[in-house]
Structure 1
Amino acid sequence: MKKMLKDTMFAAFALALCAAPAAADDIKAGDLVISQAWSRATPGGAKVAGGYLTIENKGTAADKLVSVSADIAGKAEVHEMTMDNGVMKMRPLDKGLVIDPGKTVKLAPGGYHLMLQELKGAFKEGEKVPVMLEFEKAGKVAVSLDVQGVGAQAPGGGGMMMKKMPDHSGMKM
């Protein structure tokens, strides 16, 4: 009976480890933890892509994402997408994006996001796209965006899902 209970507990523990979200890709920079960095595959000829990630501030002081850069893009900015009287508006955050202490900010389709413009190549599903984030306090942080399928709504979302929010992969600027 004891062995059976022990084996059952071991199996449950092993299963819990497998089911837990992988934290191996989490990046720590100062008081910040950056996780779930991803983008969508882009169709050939696309000149724009979005980048998404989660930033958690475990510290006691605010930090600010002030800029982003990527070798694959001629221009990269931190953007905000909002709805105003039924019209979707997108704008760069010229003063940066504040991450308050004890808070988590999610960059996701339809909200805050990284805007990568003047792409020098396509994003292919399964690849990693390196970007450099610069924070006011944490400094420069290298992050790799995991490229998901064209219609993905979140990391691991695969390809060709119904899109709730527009993706930037087909935009030309």
Structure 2
Amino acid sequence: MRHRAVLLCALAALAGAPLHAGPDLAGRLVVHGAWIPAPPPVARVAAGYAVLSNTGPEDLRLTAASSPRARAEFHQMRHEDDEMRMRALPEGIVVPAHGTLDLQPGAVHLMFLDLDGVFAAGERIPVVLQAEDGARLSVEFEIRQPGPLPAGDDGHSGH
């Protein structure tokens, strides 16, 4: 009986522990308005947007992102040769010291690949952002119903 009580206390203590080991980005990185436009049910990809704020005195390089619901990568859209082209950013992204970086359509964004199931409006997708020093921050991206496209946008300028 005593062993059971000790085990229950240990499990209760662990319940409040973070889901990852290592340093934490909380306090250095603030994520505002993280969202994903709801993709069609048959889609295998989606894009995530947010405003990343670095509260620290040094630039912050994010080198990885992960989610249990999809493979996640940083990507960038660029205008090249009169066309919009997307490329992966394997070196990551930099949030400037005491500054912000907007993850937005048609620019730098978080790309979700090989989606695990439907990303339905109202759902929250867990994501872990990782800095080059190994520090991590867990955030949730809200799935939102996409709004109307701006005039002249064929839907391919972002995702």
Matching of residue 55 in structure 1 with residue 42 in structure 2: no
Q: Deviations over 1:53-108 (max 9, x none)?
A: 111112111111100111111x2101111111211111111111011112110001
Structure 1 distance, partners of 2:78, 2:120, is 28
Please list, as runs of the form range in 1=range in 2, the aligned pairs for 1:97-136 lying within 5 A after superposition.
Answer: 97-136=93-132
CA pair 31-138 structure 1, distance change in 2 beyond 3 A:
farther
CA 1:34 to 1:138, structure 2 compared with 1: closer, same or farther past 3 Å? farther
Aligned length: 131
Structure 1, gaps ≥5 residues long: 1-27, 152-158, 169-173
2:31 counterpart of 1:34: yes
CA RMSD of aligned residues (A): 1.7
Q: 1:148 aligned to 2:144?
A: yes
User: Secondary structure of 1:119's match?
Assistant: coil
- Is the contact between residue 31 and residue 57 of structure 1 (CA under 8 Å) also seen in structure 2? yes
* Among candidates 76, 80, 105, match of residue 72 of structure 2: 76
Q: Which one of the candidate residues 149, 152, 158 is aligned to 1:162?
A: 149
Q: Which residue of 2 aligns with 1:18?
A: none
**TM-score of the aligned structures, taking structure 2 as reference length:** 0.76
TM-score, reference length from structure 1: 0.70
What amino acid is aligned across from residue 140 of structure 1 in structure 2? R
Matched, 1:85 2:81: yes
Q: Secondary structure at the match of 2:75?
A: strand
Aligned CA distance change for structure 1 residues 138 and 55 (closer, same or farther; 3 Å) = farther
Structure 1 residue aligned with 2:63: 66
For the residues of structure 2 that align with 1:69 and 1:58, how far apart are their CA atoms?
22
Q: Report if the CA contact (8 A) 1:32-1:138 is conserved.
A: no
Query: Secondary structure of the equivalent of 1:46?
Result: coil
**Conserved 8 A contact 1:82-1:110:** yes
| Runs of 4+ deviating beyond 3 Å | none
| 1:81/1:110 contact within 8 Å kept | yes
Task: Letter of the 2:99 partner, please give it.
Answer: K
